[in-house]
Structure 1
Amino acid sequence: MRILFLGDLVGRSGRDAVTAALPNLRRSLHLDLVVVNAENASHGFGLAPEMARALLAAGADAITLGNHAWDRREIIPFIEQEPRLLRPLNYPPGTPGRGAAVVDLAGGRRALVMNAMGRLFMDPLDDPFRGVQQAIAAHRMGQGGTVAAMVLDFHAEASSEKLAMGHSFDGKLSLVVGTHTHVPSADHQILPGGTAYMTDAGMCGDYDSVIGMEKGGASLRFWKKVPGERLAPAEGEATISGVFVETDDATGLARRIAPLRMGGRLSPAMPAV
């Protein structure tokens, strides 16, 4: 199975770049599963239903969120109706939506996609490690299993917590990929047990910015240490950032992992087909 995960999509620049590129990426990379984190899609804060619909129509099989999940309140009724839109699974019981879903793919295959949020320097949610363990308990990967692959978007601030998550589920998941910091890390690897891992997929947005936001206002907050006007996304050309993984059909574990970067300011990287 060929999987593409795209990191935090920021503002109109990121939205337009991803929706324009996804159809061709699906064809050229022969993708079976595409997951996009879109928690910053709406002016940098949250996701509107019409934006989710556009991403799904462009070729995303699942959309994940994070700490800005509820910034657009109209997403609450929508997330109850759309099983392919996931919020962190370690929100308290009774929170709208779901944190894990089995996604139907072409050829009759299925994949389990999960979204969890870290607790270091983040909101004090329920334990994400136990949450992931519970989410995968009913599934088995690979040939003869319930799903062909299992993918976790771990939305977290601390690289230590992300690495701990990767090693904790090494050999049990196809991919553990971090989001939230908006900067692509250079540590993409296959862990000893066969799980593909990357500390942060980066963002899909304008990198002439402060993690996707207009750099003047964002920088001023560090100079003056007082809130200024509401931050706005940078609107220059976006770089699409993410990670490509190819799995073994027999086991669901990773055979190959490679970064993907295209457009904008960062050096390009395109997985070989």
Structure 2
Amino acid sequence: MGTKTPIHAISMWVRRQPPKIKAILAVLAAMTTLVFLRMVVDDHDSLFVVAEAVHAIGISVLLYKLMKERTCTGLSLKSQELTALFLAVRLYCSFVMEYDIHTVLDTATLGTTLWVIYLIRFKLRSSYMDDKDNCAIYYVVIPCAILSLFIHPSTQHHLINRILWGFCVYLEAVSVLPQLRVMQNTKIVEPFTAHYVFALGVARFLSCAHWILQVLDTRGRLLTALGYGLWPSMVLLSEIVQTFILADFCYYYVKSLVGGQLVVRLPSGVV
């Protein structure tokens, strides 16, 4: 028998732990990473730019899969459409409320996402797993729309713009759910799709780390700057929700890499 590497031994130990212990370990790992980022990154605002760059890399991996392998097996068209929707709304809000570098990055990401949607819907339709992509979009969009009517920014901008801003924040937090549903239905995730979803997980964690560290750096003043009422807390909560939605998959992705597997195999009930 070959000698187990320390990483593999740790992975096996974690796997044997009950769910509560795994959850505690995940929180401790996240907190340790946050402390590390706070120590080594001088400008914490750059984490948000890095998060968007990682998202763009994930989209590029998707394009490579679609154009080189000529198949969209394992991909959720609905997740891509939800991504395009929240990016389009966020772009509109950026143009009328706070035009900056993020507007440029979102424009590039939206263009790439629309290209992915076009390829899946028209060029590679025969390989699209329509029966597996069965998460109804209105289950995702309607709750976000209703929530944004009641909890949105309290800035001086027009009410409609503030509601749209809230809507895109909430929709971004749950836009990956149809993709997770596809992976839950198939149980086996091929490499390129796995790389893409892992990139989303890393991007979401970096974005969440950006907000948490900014709040710590300003000693809570950032939340006050975002407005009053429940909105500041909902912004932070949305970032945390995005991270934890993808946390389980990221664990199995890393576990598969450590084990030398090309595909990610998910047990029942993971996502």
Smaller-chain TM-score bracket: under 0.3
TM-score, normalisation: structure 2: 0.28
TM-score (norm 1): 0.28
Q: Kindly indicate whether structure 1 or structure 2 has the higher relative contact order, using CA contacts under 8 Å at least 6 residues apart.
A: 2
- Bigger share in helix: 2
Q: Which of the pair is proportionally richer in strand?
A: 1
